[in-house]
Amino acid sequence: MLAAPINPSDINRIEGVYPVRPQVPAVGGYEGVGEVHSVGAAVKGFLPGDLVIPSPPSFGTWQTYIVKDQNVWYKINKKSPLEYAATITVNPLTALRMLEDFVTLNKGDAIVQNGATSIVGQCIIQLAHHRGIHNINIIRDRTGSDEVKEKLKNLGADEVFTESQLEVKNVKGLLSGIPEPALGFNCVGGNAASLVLKFLGRGGTMVTYGGMSKKPITVSTSSFIFKDLSLRGFWLQNWMSTEKAKGCRVLIDSLLDLAREGKLKYEMELVPFDNFNAAIDKALGKQGSQPKQVINFQL
């Protein structure tokens, strides 16, 4: 293995609160990138030196050597940036599938999301921007929020609001010509989810893929009756078990192409394996907001 990230779902599995748990004793980590060291005599299509990722992702990437059947591995372009190859499957693929699987979006349409600074959020901004889809983004109130807004706008965000800015009756009056969103994404829950719902137009859909606030989603009766809103959920691991997932390797190639071209980027910190404990603390939020922690086994 060359590199593997620390994702929130990895922490949840260790805590025992994730719906799918590996049989213990187990090695952590669900995605990453490795270099082929050696192959069995019957293996075809792989050679030492090939760059590979587990596809679909599988347990146990937080270790220096892995031996698994060739069907687990997918060979990727050797020019792929290490940190993007290690993280391309979980967050960017989630962003891409959510943009495509729930509502048919055309150029000029709009979406809205909370948790816009997350990696999924950053990917949604960029993928939507590339397709000419307006994106409205909600971030939590924080010190330095103006700088955060500027960073997101540099990625392609059309509008960025803090939660307190949206404490008005008519949020759509803030949109300056952007159409009512047909699709919204929620990874926070609580009030932040309610703000997404306020932006959605009649017949709109909100997709929930996380719950960082650990607070429930509350929906007004009028939202169902008069706006006919739909609430859906997305879980990548479940999607991987569907027929749609057969083409995920082609999608990963397209996402890695965007990363190599600089058209898909997000903040990460490559951390030497010897600093694993510090990386875990950062991933747990013990040092405030931090970039995605990616363990580099070669440093």
What's the pLDDT at 180?
95
**What is the overall mean pLDDT for the chain?**
95
Judge whether residue 299 has pLDDT over 80: no
What's the pLDDT at 59?
86
Q: How far apart are CA 73 and CA 52, in angstroms?
A: 6
What's the pLDDT at 280?
95
What's the pLDDT at 246?
82
What's the pLDDT at 242?
84
Domains 3-89+238-296 and 103-233 agree in fold:
no
Q: Spell out the domain ranges in the chain.
A: 3-89+238-296, 103-233
Whether residue 210 contacts residue 230, with contact meaning beta carbons closer than 8 Å, is answered with: no
pLDDT tens track for 223-273: 999 999 999 999 999 998 888 888 899 999 999 999 999 999 999 999 999
Strand order in the sheet with 51-54: 34-35, 51-54, 73-76
Whether residue 272 contacts residue 296, with contact meaning beta carbons closer than 8 Å, is answered with: yes
Please state which CATH number belongs to domain 103-233.
3.40.50.720
**144 burial class (0-12, 13-18, 19+ CB within 10 angstroms)?**
exposed
Tokens representing 205 are 């859909």
Task: Find residue 271's DSSP bridge partners.
Answer: 295
Judge whether residue 206 has pLDDT over 80: yes
What's the pLDDT at 135?
98
Model's pTM, two decimal places?
0.94
Catalytic residues: 18
What's the pLDDT at 261?
96
Q: What letter would DSSP give residue 201?
A: -
- The mean pLDDT of 18-26, rounded to a whole number, is 89
- Candidates 3.30.460.10, 3.40.1160.10, 3.40.50.12160, 3.90.180.10; CATH matching 3-89+238-296: 3.90.180.10
pLDDT tens track for 130-178: 999 999 999 999 989 999 999 999 999 999 999 999 988 889 889 888 9
